[in-house]
Amino acid sequence: MPTQTVMLVKQIPQYLGSELAKRVYYVSPGIEEFRLISEGGRVVGVEVTTSTAVNGDELSRKLDVIITKDVLPQEQLETEILWKSPHAAQGDDGVFAKLTDADIVAEMGEGLYAVGGLFSQVMFGLDRRLHELAVQKFDADSFHYPTLISTETLQRAGYMSAFPQFLMTASRFHSDVDTYDSFTSGIASTDDIGKHIEDHSEHIGYCLPPAVCYHVYQHLSGSSLDKQSIAVTTRGKTFRFEARYRRSLERLWEFTMREVVFFGDRKSVVEQRRSMVSAVCDLVDELGLAGRLEVANDPFFFNEQIAGYMQVQRVMELKYELCLPVEAGRSVAAGSFNVHGDKFGSAFGISDADGRTAHTACVGFGLERFAYAVFCQHGADPGAWPDALKALVSSHGNGSAGEPM
């Protein structure tokens, strides 16, 4: 595979290297591998390996676009840790292999995994606890939404312009008998079924959801709260195209998310996030997990204004992440706790009990990731698990038949 070194039009300080690295695979579809090149404390170039020959000037131009729009506007911010679990990080690095060898985790495609047995028991045991927490502590209404989300809802929520790199859309065939005829008769002779489908299909106004809170904003759009604050909880499949950044169960294209969404006046949603943070930190402690809560930001893309918003997110502490150690010294965010001001209340015409635009907060957990961190830290042998974890899986069936709401 061809490898070339692309020198950056604008060199960047070393501390922004990780921000550049998070975006390189989205620069061009042919990039298979890359390495940042540093000199004198600055990142000066990128060594890129591509599947086919890619024009170096084009790569340089595209890298410059993301550096100018998304990377350089960011300032250096210290990682702020708000809470640290009392448990020390432990575990072995071969857990992913053990889970696949035991066939309770099986790869189904890029960033796609089947999970079963003990793995799904942990996943849905965690989900059951989170669901109980939402219902018992916050009196949340529990809903099950369709997987497809309307494109209009995502557009209204501002998702399209903030995260185009993640978006996965749904299409279907043109509703036309000639289309079906031409499609079916061409199947045998085509050597590119993907292109053949694309030639006969269209976007139909629906996408695959990148989170499950957007369904909730749509559901409540145009309504007024009849009390100071309300909460809605839901669980569903979510999809984010993570390009080559996908990794084992840490970073998936399709995963399962439990969210709790809060609506109310500013003070109540901020208080509810605080209370949710405290309850989840207690759960992490109870399960004997190492972890920490950090101030974080979202990986916005392609928009100078939004790149500036990342700083705002961090400085105003709009997003916290629960980071749990997994393998090889890495940690992953198993959950995030976000306040949005009145952004979604305004976009979806939701008012609080006093008739003002409602404020919102959402708390989301990636269940595969959370469960994976549990296995990384406590191993795949339930005999050696702490009692609280044993209790988490013994309180229900195997997770496939009796999945809790």
* Contact footprint for ligand AMP (CB under 6 A): 211, 240, 242, 251-252, 255, 257, 321, 333-336, 364-366, 368-369
Residue with Cβ nearer Zn ion (85 or 234): 234
Residue with Cβ nearer ligand AMP (45 or 111): 111
Which one of Zn ion, ligand AMP, none interacts with residue 91, CB within 5 to 8 A by kind? none
| Structure letter (DSSP) for residue 136 | H
C-alpha torsion sign, points 151, 155, 156, 159:
positive
Q: Distance between CA 277 and CA 254 in Å, rounded?
A: 25
Among 105, 134, 362, 389, binds Zn ion (CB under 5 A): 362
Q: Distance between CA 5 and CA 207 in Å, rounded?
A: 37
Residue with Cβ nearer ligand AMP (200 or 369): 369
| Structure letter (DSSP) for residue 354 | T
Residue with Cβ nearer ligand AMP (251 or 359): 251
| Least Å from the CB of residue 280 to ligand AMP | 11
Number of residues that bind Zn ion (CB under 5 A): 4
| Structure letter (DSSP) for residue 68 | I
Which one of Zn ion, ligand AMP, none interacts with residue 264, CB within 5 to 8 A by kind? none
| Least Å from the CB of residue 369 to ligand AMP | 4
Residue 289: Cβ within 10 Å count: 26
Which one of ligand AMP, Zn ion, none interacts with residue 334, CB within 5 to 8 A by kind? ligand AMP
| Least Å from the CB of residue 216 to ligand AMP | 13
Does 213 contact Zn ion by CB under 5 A?
Answer: yes
299 in Cβ contact with 340 (< 8 Å) = no
- Comparing C-alpha atoms, which of 245, 238, 207, 265 is closest to residue 365? 238
Which one of ligand AMP, Zn ion, none interacts with residue 213, CB within 5 to 8 A by kind? Zn ion
Residue with Cβ nearer ligand AMP (242 or 342): 242
Residue with Cβ nearer ligand AMP (145 or 183): 145
| Structure letter (DSSP) for residue 70 | I
> For the residues of 262-325, what is the DSSP string, one character each?
EEE-HHHHHHHHHHHHHHHHHHHHHTT---EEEE------S-HHHHHHHHHHHHTT-EEEEEEE
Q: Distance between CA 328 and CA 347 in Å, rounded?
A: 42
Residue with Cβ nearer ligand AMP (259 or 352): 259
Which one of Zn ion, ligand AMP, none interacts with residue 252, CB within 5 to 8 A by kind? ligand AMP
- Name the residues that contact Zn ion, by CB under 5 A: 211, 213, 362, 364
